[in-house]
Amino acid sequence: MAKKAAKKSLEQLQAFFDFLGESGGTIETKTPSTWWKLTLEVKKTDQGSKEILIGVCKLYGEGIFADLLYDPLFTLHLKVHENRIIEGEIKGCINQTVFGTTEIDGDDMLYGFGLIEKASPGLQEKFSAFMDNITNVGPYLTDPKEVVRYDE
């Protein structure tokens, strides 16, 4: 079961689609140690809906020993009309560290490090805080260093 995304979070997400385009893309900042690379990927598009991934990532290490870590990476199902988000469901979230991965599912259950427990905060609250952070605090929309827009 997925969690409904808050209206404010969907409006913030729409701003990223307006900036990057309907196929998404990546935004790098001038301070990558503080503000990791933002990625917005459209995984599947049907008539009136999209399956997307949005999160921030950082490459740790070099060469074949490098790891790409996402912290966090959200999966959402969006209903769209005329390229505008009208509704969204948060299906899950992963958080990765060099020590391993945790996952929060649509029922707000946290899995990882041998644990299964109720996640606090839950998906809706976590996604809202993430969107507030990348929209209002982070320089992604206001002062990006490099922007890559994916082709349709």
**Burial call 12-46: b when 16+ CB within 10 Å, e when fewer:** bbbebbeebbeebbbbbbeeeeebbbbbbbbeeee
- Give domain limits for the chain: 3-141
Query: Quick one: pLDDT at residue 138?
Result: 93
Query: Quick one: pLDDT at residue 14?
Result: 97
Query: Quick one: pLDDT at residue 77?
Result: 96
Over 70: is that where the pLDDT of 152 sits?
no
Q: Could you say which DSSP state residue 89 is in?
A: E
**Per-residue pLDDT tens for 67-125?**
788 999 999 999 999 889 999 999 999 999 878 899 999 999 999 998 899 998 999 99
**Alpha-carbon span 76 to 41, nearest angstrom:** 10
- Structural contact between residues 140 and 27, judged by C-beta atoms closer than 8 angstroms: yes
**Burial call 62-82: b when 16+ CB within 10 Å, e when fewer:** eeeeeeebbbbbbbbbbebee
pTM of the predicted structure, to 2 decimals: 0.92
How much is the mean pLDDT over the chain?
Answer: 92
Residue 18 host element (H or E)? helix 7-20
